[in-house]
Amino acid sequence: MTGTVEPGITSRPADLPTHTVDIRTGVGLAAAFAEADAVIHLAARNHVLREKSKDPLSDYRKVNVEGTRNVLRAASVGGVKVFIHVSSVKAIGEGAEKVLDEGDECQPSTPYGISKLESEELVRAKADGTGMAAVIFRLPMVYGPGNKGNLPRMIRWADRGLPFPLVQPDNLRSMVYVGNVVAAMKAVLGTHPTGDAAPRTYIVKDDADCSTRMIYSSICRELGKVPRFIPLPTSLGRIAGAVSENFRKVTSSFRVSAAKIREEIGFVPPISGEEGIARTVQWYRRSLR
Nearest to 180 by CA among 153, 151, 154, 202: 202
> pLDDT tens digits for 58-75?
999 999 999 999 999 999
- Predicted pLDDT of residue 184: 98
Average pLDDT value over all residues in the chain: 87
141-173 pLDDT, tens per residue?
999 998 888 899 899 999 999 998 887 667 899
How much helix, strand and coil, in percent to the nearest 5, is found in the chain? 40, 15, 45
pLDDT over 80 at 49, yes or no:
no
Taken in order of first residue, the domains within the chain and their CATH numbers are: 29-287 (3.40.50.720)
List, for residues 166-216, the tens digit of each pLDDT value: 876 678 999 999 999 999 999 999 998 888 788 999 999 999 999 989 999
Q: Where are the beta strands (DSSP E) in the chain?
A: 38-41, 82-88, 133-139, 141-143, 164-166, 175-177, 200-203, 229-231
| Banded pLDDT at 4 (limits 50, 70, 90) | very low
What's the pTM value of the predicted model, to 2 decimals? 0.89
Read off the pLDDT of residues 63-110 as tens digits, 9 standing for 90 and up: 999 999 999 999 999 999 999 999 999 999 987 789 999 999 999 989
